[in-house]
Amino acid sequence: MGPFEVSKELVAGLDDVQLRALLERLLVAEANLRGISHFAIAVGGNQTAADGGVDASIRWNDLPEPVDWLPRRLIFFQCKAEAMGPAKIRDEMRPAEKPRPIFSELATEAGAYVIFSTDDPTKSAMDNRSKAMRESLGDVEQADRIQLDFYGADRIARWANRHPGVAIWLLRQGGRSLGGWRPYGDWSAEGATSKPYIVDDQARATFGDELVDMHSAIASIRAALREPRGVVRLVGLSGMGKTRLAEALFDENLGEGALPKAKAIYGDAGRDLEVGAARVAEELMLAGVDAILVVDNANAAIHGQLAEIARRSGGHISVLTIDYDMGGEKPAGLLGALGENSEIVLISLLEQRVPTLSEAECRHLAEFSGGNARIALKIAEGTDKGIDLSTLNDGELLERLFQSGRREREPSARACADVASLVYAFYVEAGDHQMAEHPVLAAIAGVNVDTFFRNVATFLEWGVIQQRGPQRAVMPPPFANMLAAPFIRRSDPETLLDHFLTASPRLLASFARRLGQLHNEPAAVRLAERLLGPDGAFGEPAGLDDVLRRGFNQMAPAAPGAALASFERSLAGPQRDQLLDPHSEGRRYYPELLVHLAHEPTLFGRAMEVLLAYALADGDARDDHKASKHFLERFWTHLSFTLADQATRLDFIDRLLDDPNQEARTLGLEALDHMLDAGHFSSSLNLEFGAKAHLKEWRPGGREGYRGWFGAAYDRATRIASGDEPGAERARDIIANHFREHLDVGLPELPIAAMRAVRGKGYWDAGWRAVVDGLSFSGKGLGDDMLAEVRALERDLRPQTIAECFDAFVLGEPWRHWHPVRTEKRSTRDVGKLAEATGICVAKHADPVPYLARAIVGEGQNSALQFARGVARSSGDPARLWQETLAVFRTMGDDTRNPLVLTGLLEGAAKRNREQVELWLDDAVTDPVLAEHFVILQLALPLDDVAMARFERAIAHGAVPLWRFGQLQMGGVSKPVPGPALSRFLKTLYELDGGAIPALQILHMRIFGDRSDKRAVDSALIELGRKLLADPRSFAEEGAREDHGIATIAKVALDGEGAEDAARATCRALCASRDSGNYHDGGFDKICKLLMMSFPRVVLEEIFTREVHQDLAARFFGGHVRNDSDSNKKTVTFDEDIAIEWVREAPEERASGLAELIPYTAREAEDGPLVWSPFALALIDAAPDPVPVLRKFERRFFTGTSSGPFSGRFVRRRPLIAVMREHSDVRVRNWAREAGKALEENIRRWDEHDRERESRFE
Say which CATH number the domain at 259 has. 3.40.50
Q: Of 662, 694, 726, which marks where a domain is finished?
A: 694
The reply to whether 285 and 332 lie within a common domain is: yes
**814 occurs within a structural domain:** no
| Distance in angstroms (rounded) separating the CA atoms of residues 1171 and 286 | 12
The reply to whether 328 and 366 lie within a common domain is: no
Domain that holds residue 850: 828-922
The reply to whether 328 and 185 lie within a common domain is: yes
The reply to whether 328 and 356 lie within a common domain is: no
Cα distances from 1241 to residues 1191, 1246, 1247, in angstroms, run 16, 8, 10
**818 occurs within a structural domain:** no
For the chain, the maximum distance between any two Cα atoms, rounded to a whole number of angstroms, is 125
pLDDT in tens, 1123-1155: 667 765 666 788 999 999 999 999 988 999 899
Secondary structure tally for the chain: helices H, strands E? 61, 19
**983 occurs within a structural domain:** no
The reply to whether 600 and 632 lie within a common domain is: yes
Average pLDDT rounded to a whole number, residues 998-1026: 95
This prediction's pTM: 0.76
The reply to whether 17 and 159 lie within a common domain is: yes
pLDDT in tens, 62-88: 899 999 999 999 999 999 999 999 999
Is the separation of the CB atoms in 1142 and 1097 below 8 Å?
Answer: yes
Checking DSSP bridges between strand 203-207 and strand 426-427, what pairing results, if any?
unpaired
| Distance in angstroms (rounded) separating the CA atoms of residues 943 and 938 | 8
The reply to whether 234 and 324 lie within a common domain is: yes
User: Other CB atoms closer than 10 Å to residue 1215's CB: what's the count?
Assistant: 16
The reply to whether 253 and 142 lie within a common domain is: no
| Distance in angstroms (rounded) separating the CA atoms of residues 864 and 853 | 10
| Distance in angstroms (rounded) separating the CA atoms of residues 292 and 294 | 6
Contacts of 263 (CB under 8 A, 6+ apart): 29, 32, 163, 164, 165, 290, 291, 292
**1149 occurs within a structural domain:** yes
The reply to whether 201 and 288 lie within a common domain is: yes
pLDDT in tens, 349-395: 888 888 888 888 888 888 887 777 777 887 887 666 677 887 878 77
Q: Does residue 49 have a pLDDT over 50? A: no
**Which of 469, 454, 651, 344 lies closest to 1252 in space, CA to CA?**
469
**776 occurs within a structural domain:** yes
**439 occurs within a structural domain:** no
| Distance in angstroms (rounded) separating the CA atoms of residues 234 and 33 | 25
The reply to whether 788 and 872 lie within a common domain is: no
- The amino acid that residue 498 corresponds to is D
pLDDT higher at 532 or 397: 532
For residue 823, the cross-strand partners are: none
Checking DSSP bridges between strand 203-207 and strand 334-338, what pairing results, if any?
antiparallel
Q: Does residue 50 have a pLDDT over 60? A: no
Q: What region, left, alpha or beta, does residue 140 occupy, with left being phi > 0 and alpha being psi -120 to 50 degrees?
A: beta
- E strand or H helix at 1163: strand 1161-1163
**1158 occurs within a structural domain:** yes
Q: What is the CATH number of the domain that holds 16?
A: 3.40.1350
Instruction: Count up the domains in the chain and report the number.
Output: 7
Question: How far from the centroid of its chain's Cα atoms is residue 418's Cα?
Answer: 40
User: Other CB atoms closer than 10 Å to residue 132's CB: what's the count?
Assistant: 20
The reply to whether 208 and 295 lie within a common domain is: yes
* pLDDT score recorded for residue 328: 59
Q: Does residue 1185 have a pLDDT over 70? A: yes
pLDDT in tens, 1206-1224: 888 888 888 899 899 989 9
Q: Of 678, 694, 710, which marks where a domain is finished?
A: 694
For residue 319, the cross-strand partners are: 231, 293
pLDDT in tens, 1037-1076: 777 788 899 999 999 999 999 999 999 999 999 888 765 4
Q: Does residue 648 have a pLDDT over 50? A: yes
Average pLDDT rounded to a whole number, residues 1236-1241: 90
| Distance in angstroms (rounded) separating the CA atoms of residues 898 and 912 | 23
The reply to whether 215 and 160 lie within a common domain is: no
**708 occurs within a structural domain:** yes
Q: Does residue 327 have a pLDDT over 60? A: no
Give me the phi and psi of 423, to 5 degrees please: -115, 155
pLDDT in tens, 934-972: 999 999 999 998 999 999 999 999 889 999 999 999 888
Q: Does residue 51 have a pLDDT over 60? A: no
What length does the chain have?
Answer: 1258
Q: Of 694, 714, 729, which marks where a domain is finished?
A: 694
| SS3 letters across 872-904 | HHHCCCHHHHHHHHHHHHHHCCCCCCCCHHHHH
